């Protein structure tokens, strides 16, 4: 499988392997706290889960739970590869798929169906409240934003509104918001003066020390981009994932 393109994360692409994989990648990179793309083995697992018909909402919830559990260990697996979370994912994926087959009797269709089953009403209410709070925050920030920041806020507000119009589960909303936030901070970064971007990037690169020399160019660039986003997020936490479920 070729490297996944994060920009493929699109709420209109229901059921496609690209969307399924891109959402998983968003969540896994957040869990790992790294900006690297998934490894070929990781991507192989994702494709297997899609072909097996494991519901995306179940995969996302299982990865988030198992990933946070592994990160809480004294010595978590280095890089948190998907193989370290695979057992939990397969167990929950099989259980969710079997429930769906029993309810609908459409095993062949489900083997290629990566759409999300609607969650409980309480989850829908929670995600609706979250998106409403985010829209309000974005609108408030937009009202007092400087001209250079206004476009980033405007585009992100439209993206959040688009999510509100979709029937998505809680874990899928979380993954979608990770992508929206990434694009928001990329826009904010590009809105900075060229000289300031250059200075900040040099500081970030220097902070990596000798580790940067061991990275291939693609991994190094992805890491610098992710660290740049996090730098902006410290002073502008609108899309800080840690605050999503507290809104």
Backbone CA torsion sign across 243, 12, 153, 236: positive
Q: Domain segments of the chain: what residues?
A: 7-110, 121-244
The ranges of the chain with pLDDT < 70 are: 1-15, 34-37, 100-124, 245-247
pLDDT of residue 159: 94
* Nearest in space to 226 (alpha carbons), one of 7, 30, 15, 10: 30
Reduced to 3 states, what is the DSSP secondary structure of residue 77? coil
Whether the CB-CB separation of 83 and 96 falls below 8 Å is answered with no
Determine the pLDDT at residue 246: 57
Distance (Å, whole) CA 58 – CA 89: 8
pLDDT tens-digit map of 6-28? 443 443 444 588 888 888 888 88
So what's the pLDDT on residue 97? 83
pLDDT at 7: 43
| Alpha helices, DSSP H, located in 165-216 | 170-191, 194-208, 211-214
d(CA 224, CA 198): 12
d(CA 203, CA 33): 19
pLDDT for 36 equals 61
The pLDDT value given to residue 15: 59
Q: Report DSSP state, residue 60.
A: H
Output the six-digit token pair for 220: 């190094």
Q: pLDDT value at position 84?
A: 86
pTM (two decimals): 0.69
Say what the pLDDT of residue 202 is: 92
């Amino acid at each position: 499988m070729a490297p996944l393109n994060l920009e493929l994360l699109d709420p209109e692409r229901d059921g496609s392997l690209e969307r399924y994989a891109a959402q998983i990648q968003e969540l896994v990179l957040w869990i790992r706290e790294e900006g690297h793309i998934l490894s070929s083995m990781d991507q192989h697992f994702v494709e297997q889960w899609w072909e097996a018909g494991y519901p995306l909402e179940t995969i996302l919830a299982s990865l988030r739970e198992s990933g946070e559990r592994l990160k809480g260990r004294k010595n978590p697996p280095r890089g948190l590869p998907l193989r370290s979370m695979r057992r939990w994912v397969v167990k929950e994926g099989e259980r969710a798929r079997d429930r769906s087959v029993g309810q609908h009797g459409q095993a062949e269709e489900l083997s290629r169906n990566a759409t999300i089953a609607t969650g409980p009403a309480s989850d829908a209410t929670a995600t609706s409240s979250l998106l409403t709070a985010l829209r309000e925050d974005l609108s408030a920030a937009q009202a007092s934003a400087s001209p250079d920041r206004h476009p980033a806020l405007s585009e992100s507000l439209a993206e959040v509104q688009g999510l509100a119009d979709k029937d998505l589960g809680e874990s899928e909303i979380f993954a979608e918001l990770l992508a929206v936030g990434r694009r928001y901070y990329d826009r904010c970064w590009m809105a900075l003066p060229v000289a300031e971007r250059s200075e900040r990037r040099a500081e970030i690169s220097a902070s990596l020390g000798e580790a940067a020399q061991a990275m291939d160019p693609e991994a190094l660039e992805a890491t610098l981009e992710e660290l740049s986003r996090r730098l902006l997020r410290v002073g502008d936490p609108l899309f800080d994932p840690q605050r999503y479920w507290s809104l």
